[in-house]
Amino acid sequence: MSVLDEIMIDMSIVLGSAEIPIRQMLKMSRGAMIPLDCGQDDPSLVYVNGELVARGRILVDGENMSLEISELVKKSRN
C-alpha cells in the first residue's frame, strides 16, 4: 500500500449553475427542472480542493454516468 492511498481530496464536478429565489426553490416538487447557465455541449468543470484542474464532458450509459477529461487546466503562476 502506498502512502498516497490515505490522502483525501475534495473533488467537485460542476455541470452548470443557476440563481433562483428561495421562494421558487421551496415551491419545487420532485421532477422539477432548474435551467442551468450552460448548454448541452459546454464542458463540465473539475475542481480539486477548490481549484479548477480540468474540463470534460459527462457521458451517460443507462443509469451510469462518467466524466471524460478533455483538457487539463494549467496552474496560473502569480
pTM beyond 0.85: no
- Host domain of residue 36: 3-72
Contact 42, 71 (CB under 8 A): no
Which residues in 2-39 are b (16+ Cβ under 10 Å) and which e? eeeeeeeeeeeeeeeeeeeeeeeeeeeeeeeeeeeeee
pLDDT at position 2 is 84
Which tens digit of pLDDT belongs to each residue from 44-76?
999 999 999 999 999 999 999 999 999 999 987
Answer whether residue 32 is part of any domain.
yes
DSSP 5: G
DSSP 73: P
Number of domains comprising the chain:
1
Answer whether residue 77 is part of any domain.
no
